Structure 1
Amino acid sequence: MKLKTLLGGVAALTLTACYDPFEQQTYIDDNAEEMEAFAHQPITDEGIPYLLFKILPQGFPDIYGPDLTASIGLTQVAGEPLPVGIGRIQSVSAPFQSIATNCAACHEGKILNDDGSITRIIGAPNMQFSPNVYRRKLVDLVNSPNWNAEYLVNLINSQPPGFFGFDTIEEEFRERAIVTAALPYLVEPLRQGIMFVDSRYTSLEPFYEVRDGVNYMEMPHYGATDQGVEFAALFGEDAIPVPSAFQPVWNVGRKELTQWGGESQSNLSRNISTGIYFSTVQPGDDDRARPYIVDYAKTVTAFVRDLPSPQYQTSYDVDWRKAKKGKHLYEQYCAGCHATENLTIYTPDSLGGVDPNRALSYTQNFLEVNGREGRAACEKFGIEECSTAGSPRSATDGYLADDLNGIVWTAPYLHNNSVPTLRDLFRKGEDRPVEFCVGGMRFNHDDVGYTGQCLELYETNRPGHSNGGHDTYAVMGPLMYSGDYANDAQDPAHRKISAVIEYMKVLRYTQDEEGNGRMFPSYADIAYGILND
């Protein structure tokens, strides 16, 4: 025992610099203003009035229920007037304060712990948030019979002093006076703006009702955007608008190409385009690329460029000896494709037949218009960082193999969220779940995936939702298993896969103080973990 303690002390002296267990929190503390923008400032400087947003549960319980934050899949932090993912700002087009979503709405995951507390996973996909659901609730709101000035004014005036969370009562009543005076002139323009955004989607409904036998636009797609929707609406091309999973936003500066298929070479240009896209100002208006949208995109792009992924072992137990075995197997069968520097675009067929629809939606026409407004904004404001780097690529028809930075936090897996757990990804396609629930916040640490409430039933037999592929020997080597995991724990294949999963729980990209990056853990990191277990 004394020898082990001594060796542990030596290891601590020589290996403690291998990693900082609180690397992400340290980074967030050092970049507090940028974190504030990411989580609490809006992506655009116009939206619905802040006061109206605050009264939605009271005035429209049939749409939002009693808990506004839960109804839209966001997280409420004590002491904050708005949930994480919603920001408030002085509107650019009106004298009142407005709200809009921000980066954290899609890119902050959550785990519900056994004690009822919620752990925020900054930068991870938010599987409780659906842009479709958020949009449709706004559509239902502005088409409600109660969407009229008289009802809304009375609702605002009926709230007690202090209800709206302003710093002072004077500020609150000044805002009340401004909004209630403006509402008779505001109700219809707000409805038109929200319906304009919705029209990008609804223009496709007749086509997809016939094609798929279901109204595709009624599918919520939690944790995903609808890839190709606006493009298909603009060009009428025969492209399925498929779920495109939210990607994590950790250390985005480490990759030369972004998005699932490497379609963009500039995170900044893409983020500016996103801010413009979520604006209700219509195409052709000269002020779509406004200074605030560009400045916000610059701030959050700089923040996520080096934002570390959170470390699993900081909060949860790791079997480091098993992880060491898993590292050997991972390096032998996985690391070749999943290397940070690998920019190869893999076709769906080369990946064993993964769902091709997202890749196919990126036709040459789409690539030329995708991000066009973002690139134009870069030129308008003289931003060299993205004016040239964002030039369109050729159609890729495939997917990048990510380096799996923070993979433990990003279930469900594949580009369309079609595989519920990491363990399921090691099964043959025909043995993976045909349907499963999406939206749970409980975390299954053995299989690595989420369980709990069912916000959406994911059905893999729908177009664009296939869970096949990434299951051939050419892709996975011997790391495939077909059978009942629960009953075959002693099977050699099961033990190998469990070891790789244990290693992947702690797999992440890290940087030293000089900005030099590497994948964690190294063998020295694992040795440190074993000695301090």
Structure 2
Amino acid sequence: MLRVLFLIVTVAVTTRSSAQGADANPIYVDQGLDWTAAARADFYVRDQGSRLITLSWMQALKQRNGQPFLADGLKRYGYLLNPGSKAGLPIGFHASGPEGFQLVGMTCSACHTRQIEVDGKVYRVDGGPGLVDFYALLRDLDKAVGDVLASDDSFASFAASVLQSATPDIADVEDLRRQVDRWYLRFHTLMVRALPKNGWGVGRLDAVGMIFNRLSGLDIGPPPDFMIPENIKTADAPVRYPFLWNAPRQDKTQWPGFAKNGSDILGLARNVGEVLGVFATFEPKRQGAVINFLNGNSTNFDGLSELENLVKRIGPPKWPWKIDAALAIRGKMIFERDPAEGGCSGCHGIEDGEQRFPFIKTWRTVVQNVGTDTREYDVLAWKAKTGVLNGAYIPFATAPLKETDQILDILATSVIGSIAEHLLAGGVSSNARVATASDPGSSETPESLGLVRLPPTLQDLVTAFDAVSTSEAVKKAKRKGAEKASRGRLPPWGAYEARVLQGIWAAAPYLHNGSVPTLAELLKPSGQRKSQFSIGRKYDIENVGLAATQEPLSETLSVTDCNDINSGDSRCGHEYGTSLGDQDKKALIEYLKTL
């Protein structure tokens, strides 16, 4: 009996060690010659300006089981080991600043690096949608700091670790307490008001909702805490992380397609909006009749530009297993059929998109309603108090913000104002600014305030978020939705982008909200798709997507049908290809592996 037990333990330890070794040394899928080891290493840690928490604090925090918060390098949330991190942080996390005062931040590879497992081998897909649980990380970080502040004894232990002294100076402990109290007030307020009770699930996040909440709830209120808590709403419209390869080439981006894209300046706008959502410091300040968007702004504009250059180098991952060439040729013919006959190229093929300055060709990004979940459109309709930005506008570009306004317009003004002020800082006089807090009834004009018109190279910024038209379109679409639906037509409310499908095999689960586990499942009518499936890194290369059986610690996602299309979790819609025969479906999937 002891021998059997020994063998079981030995096998378990060997399997675990083997898995850990595979995690540390994965097989890197071919993503093109431009995607080098040096580019990859840079992508994993490049600072974009996120400032989540002080590193020494995070190192001193404890998990619920008493272990150090960083004991496993955050692997328990799905984040991937980064052997190059001296601080023990995973891929996508970095520590910036001088030794002893470093701040932990996140960069885009935290959410856009994927690891999958096939036949016991681990494969790395850079730029792929991460299978991470950001909700659990935020929730547990909030609790860990709350536990530290719960009693004098718990804080004393924390302070001794942070200050690296068994008997730290009382004044130093009191100063640390004030810093932690201020951080926790803001972070806890966001967590309590924004996080939904049931979480988002592994590989999903209400990104737009959290960006809106961070900006309007924590950044634009009055000092000293800059908060407007009532602006924070429950972020309950989770979407799956998109893949990054080819993202810079689309002419629109974000799942609802509200962000113009396809040039460096529009890419910067997209990325500045993103970093505001992952804890960049943003404290715009009113100076007379003018708004200073760069006051206390931690956005790393150079870092964001370099990240965009890196993303341009990430090629679509090449299918690393065998392909039935004859079957794939048949699948290509099906792909290129008319959509009414089950084809895909009408929405997902490569076609020229909108022209960008200077003479940049983009790929057309179709944005249309195909009957999928509509919850994210509720988020796009949010309004909020504008706080310090009341009246702010970009001269000759946007309308002044009202006291309460569309959050999308608040985001657009904040992003465009920050970029324009940063880029024009060295090119205009010291008295010239790019944004004003227009006082009602004032006789001053933009010209009299020394404000400048955006030069041609920045004109794309005016439509970066298509803010005004999108806000109006959202309201009109909701009003007309019931009328159109009653006539059997799908309203624009609930329209999402359809991307070029290169590398789509590595992007499961599918639909914008990650409600369908495999491509084979997506080719079934909505009513026949699984109502529940496990999410984990084990991959099914026949049905292409998440394997039916995952690791014991994987998460199960329950989804709703077409009767609850606004749940955030509906598997409804995208009925294209569902009427194909079994062999045609198999051929189509084989072709999709080749893209």
TM-score (norm 2): 0.65
Distance in structure 2 (CA, Å) of the matches to 1:182 and 1:26: 52
SS at match of 1:27: coil
In the alignment, residue 556 of structure 2 is paired with which amino acid? L
Distance 1:299 1:217, change over 3 A: farther
Q: Is the 8 A contact 2:53 2:104 kept in 1?
A: yes
Q: Is the 8 A contact 2:347 2:498 kept in 1?
A: yes
Match in the other structure for 1:446: 542
Distance in structure 1 (CA, Å) of the matches to 2:324 and 2:83: 35
Distance in structure 1 (CA, Å) of the matches to 2:41 and 2:525: 43
Match in the other structure for 1:459: 558
Distance in structure 2 (CA, Å) of the matches to 1:429 and 1:295: 45
Shift, 1:323, TM fit: 1.0
Shift, 1:25, TM fit: 5.0
Q: Is the 8 A contact 2:29 2:123 kept in 1?
A: no
Shift, 1:480, TM fit: 3.0
Distance 1:467 1:180, change over 3 A: farther
Distance in structure 1 (CA, Å) of the matches to 2:103 and 2:70: 22
Matches within 5 A, 1:1-150: 24=31, 26-29=33-36, 32=38, 35-44=40-49, 46-56=51-61, 61=66, 64=69, 67-81=72-86, 82-90=89-97, 96-115=101-120, 117-127=121-131, 129-145=132-148, 148-150=154-156
Match in the other structure for 1:368: 409
Distance in structure 2 (CA, Å) of the matches to 1:268 and 1:252: 13
Matches within 5 A, 1:84-483: 84-90=91-97, 96-115=101-120, 117-127=121-131, 129-145=132-148, 148-155=154-161, 184-203=174-193, 216-226=196-206, 227-229=208-210, 231=212, 241-265=236-260, 266-279=266-279, 281=281, 283-284=283-284, 287=294, 290=297, 293-312=300-319, 315-332=320-337, 333-341=343-351, 342-347=364-369, 351=370, 353-363=371-381, 365-382=406-423, 384=457, 387-393=461-467, 394-395=469-470, 397=493, 398-438=495-535, 440-451=536-547, 452-453=550-551, 454-461=553-560, 463-471=567-575, 475-476=576-577, 479-480=578-579
Distance 1:455 1:197, change over 3 A: farther
Distance in structure 2 (CA, Å) of the matches to 1:46 and 1:83: 16
1:75-126: CA deviation from partner (whole Å, max 9, x where unpaired): 11335332111111106xx9611211211111001113434x5322100000
Shift, 1:278, TM fit: 2.3
SS at match of 1:370: helix
Q: Is the 8 A contact 1:413 1:421 kept in 2?
A: yes
Distance in structure 2 (CA, Å) of the matches to 1:304 and 1:259: 16
Q: Is the 8 A contact 1:262 1:345 kept in 2?
A: yes
Q: Is the 8 A contact 2:92 2:111 kept in 1?
A: yes
Distance in structure 2 (CA, Å) of the matches to 1:46 and 1:63: 21
SS at match of 2:326: helix
1:393-422: CA deviation from partner (whole Å, max 9, x where unpaired): 423631121111211011110011111111
Distance 1:250 1:96, change over 3 A: same
Q: How many residues align?
A: 432
Q: Is the 8 A contact 2:200 2:236 kept in 1?
A: no
Shift, 1:238, TM fit: 9.3
In the alignment, residue 77 of structure 1 is paired with which amino acid? N
Distance in structure 2 (CA, Å) of the matches to 1:443 and 1:109: 12
1:181-225: CA deviation from partner (whole Å, max 9, x where unpaired): 9665234423532542443353357xxxxxxxxxx3441422222
SS at match of 1:376: helix
In the alignment, residue 259 of structure 1 is paired with which amino acid? Q
Distance in structure 2 (CA, Å) of the matches to 1:54 and 1:63: 7
Distance in structure 2 (CA, Å) of the matches to 1:38 and 1:185: 36
1:253-308: CA deviation from partner (whole Å, max 9, x where unpaired): 21111111211112311211222332264654665673652222111112213421
1:488-516: CA deviation from partner (whole Å, max 9, x where unpaired): xxxxx111111111111121xxxxxxxxx
Distance in structure 2 (CA, Å) of the matches to 1:391 and 1:141: 36
TM-score (norm 1): 0.71
Distance 1:360 1:37, change over 3 A: same
Q: Is the 8 A contact 1:48 1:190 kept in 2?
A: no
Q: More helix per residue: 1 or 2?
A: 1
Shift, 1:343, TM fit: 3.5
Q: CA RMSD in A?
A: 3.6
Shift, 1:63, TM fit: 8.4
SS at match of 2:105: strand
SS at match of 1:388: helix
Distance in structure 2 (CA, Å) of the matches to 1:238 and 1:264: 22
In the alignment, residue 413 of structure 2 is paired with which amino acid? R
Q: Is the 8 A contact 1:271 1:374 kept in 2?
A: no
Distance in structure 1 (CA, Å) of the matches to 2:42 and 2:169: 25
Shift, 1:360, TM fit: 4.2
SS at match of 2:35: helix
Q: Is the 8 A contact 1:64 1:137 kept in 2?
A: no
Shift, 1:464, TM fit: 1.4
Distance 1:100 1:319, change over 3 A: same
Match in the other structure for 1:12: none
SS at match of 2:252: coil
1:339-360: CA deviation from partner (whole Å, max 9, x where unpaired): 233433212xxx1x21122234
Q: Is the 8 A contact 1:139 1:195 kept in 2?
A: no
Distance 1:114 1:359, change over 3 A: same
In the alignment, residue 345 of structure 1 is paired with which amino acid? V
1:313-361: CA deviation from partner (whole Å, max 9, x where unpaired): xx222122211111111111111111233433212xxx1x211222343
Distance in structure 2 (CA, Å) of the matches to 1:340 and 1:191: 52
In the alignment, residue 243 of structure 1 is paired with which amino acid? P
Distance in structure 1 (CA, Å) of the matches to 2:464 and 2:170: 44
Sequence identity, in percent? Answer: 22
